[in-house]
């Protein structure tokens, strides 16, 4: 790890905090835009559509990492969809390495410790942006990301059996 650098997460990735659309624009029927509201929309590390909206507030793009910022704060997923993000999530422009790193931080209780100080467990943009992470050079990030992605797929395959 000698060539790894310690950086703030906000310096390594572009983070977009969600903003909920008006409730009157919500629908359970597929319509204009998928709405990602929180942890309930993340299943096995992926966004699974359950609510739609006609109002665009903040958008996540396909391939974005999705972090739940409200109870339980820190849960991670990815999206295959262009979707509106509500105030219960943040969209992070990052790679597979960053996804695996943020998932590890969650498993180790990092986000829970940060969120513990508030009455309602939540993370704000300052908490996320200022979190210190160690990152290797880009080529090494790609290799590590591919390795963990392969491991995740193998685990999922065995769980289906």
Q: From CA 155, how far away is CA 71, in angstroms rounded?
A: 26
Output the pLDDT for position 37: 97
Reported as a pLDDT band with limits 50, 70 and 90, residue 2 is: low
42-96 pLDDT tens trace = 999 999 999 999 999 999 999 999 999 998 899 999 999 999 999 999 999 999 9
Q: Which of 3-7, 17-21, 109-113, 143-147 tops mean pLDDT? A: 17-21
The 89-93 sheet, strands edge to edge: 14-17, 89-93, 65-68, 76-78, 46-47, 42-43
Output the pLDDT for position 118: 62
Q: From CA 133, how far away is CA 8, in angstroms rounded?
A: 6
Beta bridge partners of 134: 6
User: What would the two tokens of residue 86 be?
Assistant: 């509500």
């Amino acid at each position: 790890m000698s060539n790894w650098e310690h950086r703030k997460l906000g310096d390594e990735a572009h983070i977009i905090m969600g903003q909920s659309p008006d409730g009157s624009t919500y629908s359970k029927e597929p319509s204009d835009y998928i709405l990602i509201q929180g942890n309930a929309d993340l299943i096995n590390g992926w966004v699974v559509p359950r609510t739609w909206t006609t109002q665009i507030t903040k958008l996540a793009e396909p391939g974005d990492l999705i972090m739940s910022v409200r109870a339980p704060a820190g849960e991670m997923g990815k999206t295959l969809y262009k979707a509106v993000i509500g105030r219960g999530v943040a969209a992070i422009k990052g790679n597979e390495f960053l996804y695996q790193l943020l998932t590890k931080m969650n498993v180790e209780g990092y986000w829970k410790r940060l969120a513990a100080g508030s009455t309602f467990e939540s993370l704000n943009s300052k908490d996320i942006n200022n979190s210190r992470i160690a990152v290797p050079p880009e080529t090494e990030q790609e290799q590590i990301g591919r390795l963990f992605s392969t491991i995740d797929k193998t685990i999922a395959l065995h769980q289906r059996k």
